[in-house]
Structure 1
Amino acid sequence: MYCLKFTIQPTAAMTFRILPGSILNIATYPFVPPTTLSGFLRRLGMMSVELEIPETRVNNENPPIYALPPSYIALGAYPVPGKWSGIHRTYRKGTFSFNHDAFSSIYREKKKEDDKKKKEEIQLHTWEYLIAEELVGYVISESKAGLEYFHKLEGYGCKLGKEGYAVVKEVSELIEMERQIIAANPSTIVPMEDLLQTNHLIKGCDIYNLYRYNWSANTQPVSEREGFLDQNPTQVNGFVPFVTAYFAHPIADPPTLDYYTNGKIHIPISLINILKGRSVEC
């Protein structure tokens, strides 16, 4: 197995909305989810070959998805240990309907009092932002083929998450990983099903609902560029939920898991299997 490590520099506060969630309380994951990192890197790949990146506006009938092909598994990105990161909670004014546009109007017609209340009524949102000095992300693949393209993404940046912007500062050289069952602090999130099977006392982690792509049968690319360095939408049949644990800080008694590792990076094999659409025990 082969891995690339991405050093990512946020340039703004970020929100990766926790779903399902409240309409009035917009909470954020304290890390970049795998699907979000996948879409981010796919767009940077398109930019690197001078293609226009897709619009992010909502298309309710058939929203296109742009992600890395399944031969490159994005594992998420996480605040770098030892560097500052935190969640900032604040308030934002919002509206009761998605088609509300009164806030951005330059000219407003005089309306009847009842109609004015209906059109311009607002509500107060609680909004969370992840602020991080630096993020580290991972992409893993069973083959070396095509991984060299990711080095061309250095210096590129675009929107990341519901709110936020970031730039790829550095892409590591190819890291060869070996499979080992060891006690180690995971470098990524860990599927809860995997932790529960260890009979290990689960502590020092937070639990989140996440989602993975439900890959279509015809998503396997025929070349390293297809579905990465082109404008073709990714063929997925929606999303599948799963429950995961996140260890924000190293713990003294880490779980013993089946990892791909180089001695410094520890990636749970169960996470790779889930993101590929396989079961944890594969």
Structure 2
Amino acid sequence: MYLLKFTIKPTAAMTFRILPSSILNIATYPFVPPTTLSGFLRRLAMMSVGMEIPETSINKDDPPFYTLPRRYIALGAYPSAKALRTVHKTYRKGMREFNHYTFSRLYVEQDKANFQLHTWEYFIAEELTGYIVSKSLQGLEHFKKLEGYGCKLGKEGFAVVEKVSQAIQLRRETVAANPSTIVPMEALLQNGQFVGGCDIYNLYRYKWSDNSDTTSAEEGFLDEKRSLVEGFIPFITAYYPKKVNSAPTIDYFTDGETYIPVFLISLLQGEVYV
């Protein structure tokens, strides 16, 4: 297994909306979900070869997906070890426009008042570290060309890829370690791990089409081809925002510094965990 690490610089506060959620309380994940990172990097790849960012407005009959090919497994992006990070909650209450004058009238028509009633969370991070793994080195060289590119990231926010590492070869070990990414709860429960020091979230992974595997390293990556994704499948995950003394003992792919749960890779690929 081979790993690429991405140094990502957000340009402003971000929101990665937790679903399902309240309509009035917009909460955010304190990290970039795997599917969000996948779509972000796919768009940068298209930009790197002179293409426009694809239009992905809502289409209930045939929604388009633009993701990394299945061979490149996006594991999400997380606040770098010593970087500033926080979640800020604010209020979007009152009128939507600065030139609003309806509220000062003696008679207010309810359907024209256009009030906002939200509370909104913003994830603020000085720097993020993103992870991509692949079973093969083929095609990984293209990611180096994404340095300096940026675009919208998540529901709110923008970010730029500052640096892409060289490919790092990983070995498989069963060891107690602080995971570098999220950990599916199933991996912890199957191994009888005590779940402590982590936050629990609902997340979603891609439901890949049966013919989503491709032989070309560029197909569905450096072209305008839509990704062969049929929808999303929910799963529950643990996230360790800080190092814990009782780190989970599970199967990892590691280089001795970065620890990627084997179960997470299998789950995102839609494969049977072994």
TM-score range, shorter chain: over 0.9
CA shift for structure 1 position 201: 1.6
SS of equivalent to 1:128:
strand
Aligned partners of 1:137, 1:23: CA distance in 2, in Å?
29
Question: Is it true that 1:206 corresponds to 2:191 in the alignment?
Answer: no
> Can you list the C-alpha shifts for 1:49-100, whole angstroms capped at 9, x where unaligned?
00011124322332211100100000000001221100000011489xxxxx
Structure 1 residues 253-272: aligned runs within 5 Å: 253-272=246-265
Structure 1 residues 26-65: aligned runs within 5 Å: 26-65=26-65
Per the alignment, residue 151 of structure 1 pairs with 144
CA shift for structure 1 position 221: 1.8
Aligned partners of 1:172, 1:208: CA distance in 2, in Å?
29
Per the alignment, residue 228 of structure 1 pairs with 221
Per the alignment, residue 18 of structure 2 pairs with 18
1:250 to 243, 256, 260: 243
Q: Which amino acid aligns with 1:175?
A: I
Aligned partners of 2:9, 2:246: CA distance in 1, in Å?
31
SS of equivalent to 1:258:
strand
Per the alignment, residue 71 of structure 1 pairs with 71
Aligned partners of 2:180, 2:131: CA distance in 1, in Å?
9
Query: In the alignment, is the contact (CA less than 8 A) between 2:56 and 2:64 conserved in 1?
Result: no
In the superposition, relative to structure 1, how do residues 121 and 150 fare at CA in structure 2: closer, same or farther (>3 Å)?
same
Unaligned runs of 5+ in 2: none
Aligned partners of 1:166, 1:107: CA distance in 2, in Å?
32
SS of equivalent to 1:169:
strand
Q: Which amino acid aligns with 2:159?
A: A
Structure 1 residues 179-194: aligned runs within 5 Å: 179-194=172-187
Query: In the alignment, is the contact (CA less than 8 A) between 1:44 and 1:158 conserved in 2?
Result: yes
TM-score normalised to structure 2 length? 0.94
CA shift for structure 1 position 114: 8.7
Query: In the alignment, is the contact (CA less than 8 A) between 2:151 and 2:160 conserved in 1?
Result: yes
Query: In the alignment, is the contact (CA less than 8 A) between 1:94 and 1:125 conserved in 2?
Result: no
Larger deviation: 119-128 or 86-95? 86-95
Per the alignment, residue 98 of structure 1 pairs with none
SS of equivalent to 1:218:
coil
In the superposition, relative to structure 1, how do residues 184 and 61 fare at CA in structure 2: closer, same or farther (>3 Å)?
same
Aligned partners of 2:179, 2:250: CA distance in 1, in Å?
9
Structure 1 residues 91-130: aligned runs within 5 Å: 91-93=91-93, 103=96, 116-130=109-123
How many positions carry a matched residue from both structures? Answer: 272
SS of equivalent to 2:47:
helix
CA shift for structure 1 position 259: 0.5
Larger deviation: 54-63 or 35-44? 54-63
Q: Percent identity?
A: 61
Aligned partners of 2:215, 2:190: CA distance in 1, in Å?
37
Per the alignment, residue 163 of structure 2 pairs with 170
> Can you list the C-alpha shifts for 1:140-182, whole angstroms capped at 9, x where unaligned?
0000000000000000000000000000000001100001111
CA shift for structure 1 position 117: 2.2
SS of equivalent to 1:118:
helix
Structure 1 vs Structure 2 CA RMSD: 2.1
In the superposition, relative to structure 1, how do residues 114 and 277 fare at CA in structure 2: closer, same or farther (>3 Å)?
farther
Q: Which amino acid aligns with 1:36?
A: T
SS of equivalent to 2:35:
helix
In the superposition, relative to structure 1, how do residues 215 and 252 fare at CA in structure 2: closer, same or farther (>3 Å)?
same
TM-score normalised to structure 1 length? 0.91
Per the alignment, residue 87 of structure 1 pairs with 87
Unaligned runs of 5+ in 1: 96-102
